[in-house]
């Protein structure tokens, strides 16, 4: 058994898959048909096992831990279908609480707030194209450099006009980040909600951290 963390709207941190299943299935909108796939996608323990042993062996291991999942055919089928559609990457993807300490390129950050505080370059696509600019205040670290690529939440009606949340992707380098590096990172395919953390990231552009702008969880993709 391994601790797990995944981007859930209410509770996504548990001491084991078994604990997650038993807790969430008792909650309204807690356990869904795609929850198991989310857990496998965003936890290195299960990603490594899948990569080394394959989907059949992984499902066997999951059912040994949570036998009741054998009845959730929809969840198991969704997990299988994901492995067919998405060849699992050789790099790590791990979900963290936004307040967790995380180490990136040998530098330990005190959560997402620490990362945001030390951004040096911002990038966004405007009507006239992609542009980079510096934050009003730059507090740079000497041993690591951070760039943020972001996109505003969509506006559907007048109620959304006051919503200043953004979807955020952060890149990290040992040397100062250039606009060319920001543009190269921006060209990474964007999934839903401007998420650049997925199975098709060019390895030379890692690491990348993604935060949806809401909730308690962030995703970090790093080379092994």
pLDDT band at 192 (very low <50, low <70, confident <90, very high): confident
Find tokens 């790093």 and name the residue: 222
What does the pLDDT read at residue 154?
Answer: 82
CA 87 to chain centre: 17
pLDDT of 24-53, one tens digit each? 999 988 999 999 999 999 999 999 999 999
What does the pLDDT read at residue 1?
Answer: 73
- Of the chain, the percentage scoring pLDDT greater than 70 comes to 96
What mean pLDDT comes out for the span 124-135? 94
Q: What are the residues facing 4 on neighbouring strands?
A: 14
Burial class (CB in 10 A: 0-12, 13-18, 19+), 215: middle
Q: Taking the CA atoms of the chain, what radius of gyration do you get in angstroms?
A: 19
What mean pLDDT comes out for the span 182-197? 94
The answer to whether residue 206 scores a pLDDT higher than 80 is: yes
Q: Are 15 and 53 in contact (CB under 8 A)?
A: no
What does the pLDDT read at residue 49?
Answer: 98
What does the pLDDT read at residue 156?
Answer: 65
Rounded Cα gap, residues 86 and 93, in angstroms: 14
DSSP 65-87: H-GGGGG-HHHHHHHHHHHHHSP
Q: What is the mean pLDDT of the chain?
A: 95
The answer to whether residue 158 scores a pLDDT higher than 90 is: no
The answer to whether residue 159 scores a pLDDT higher than 90 is: no
pLDDT of 71-127, one tens digit each? 999 999 999 999 999 999 999 999 999 999 999 999 999 999 999 999 999 999 999
Q: Which two tokens mark 73?
A: 């055919």
The answer to whether residue 61 scores a pLDDT higher than 90 is: yes
User: Which of 137-145's residues contact partners 24+ apart within 8 Å by CB, and which partners?
Assistant: 141/107, 143/106, 143/107, 143/174, 144/104, 144/105, 144/106, 144/107, 144/172, 144/173, 144/174, 145/120, 145/172, 145/173, 145/174, 145/175, 145/176, 145/177
Q: Tell me the H-state helices in the chain.
A: 17-24, 35-41, 44-53, 55-65, 73-85, 111-117, 179-186
């Amino acid at each position: 058994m391994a601790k797990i963390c995944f981007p859930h709207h209410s509770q996504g941190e548990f001491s084991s898959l078994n604990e997650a299943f038993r807790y969430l299935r008792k909650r309204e909108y807690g356990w869904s048909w795609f929850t198991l796939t989310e857990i496998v996608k965003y936890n290195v323990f299960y990603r490594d096992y899948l990569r080394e042993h394959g989907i059949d062996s992984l499902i066997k291991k999951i059912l040994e831990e949570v036998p009741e999942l054998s009845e959730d055919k929809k969840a198991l089928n969704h997990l299988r279908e994901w492995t067919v559609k998405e060849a699992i990457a050789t790099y790590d993807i791990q979900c963290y609480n936004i307040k967790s300490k995380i180490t990136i390129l040998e530098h330990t950050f005190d959560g997402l707030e620490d990362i945001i505080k030390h951004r040096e370059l911002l990038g966004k696509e405007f009507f006239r194209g992609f542009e980079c600019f510096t934050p009003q205040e730059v507090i740079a670290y000497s041993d690591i450099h951070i760039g943020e690529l972001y996109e505003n939440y969509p506006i559907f009606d007048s109620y959304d006009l006051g919503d200043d949340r953004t979807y955020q992707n952060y890149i990290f380098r040992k040397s100062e980040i250039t606009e060319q590096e920001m543009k190269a990172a921006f060209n990474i395919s964007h999934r839903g909600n401007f998420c650049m953390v997925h199975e098709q990231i060019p390895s030379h552009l890692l690491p990348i951290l993604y935060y949806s702008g809401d909730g308690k969880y962030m995703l970090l993709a790093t080379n092994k």
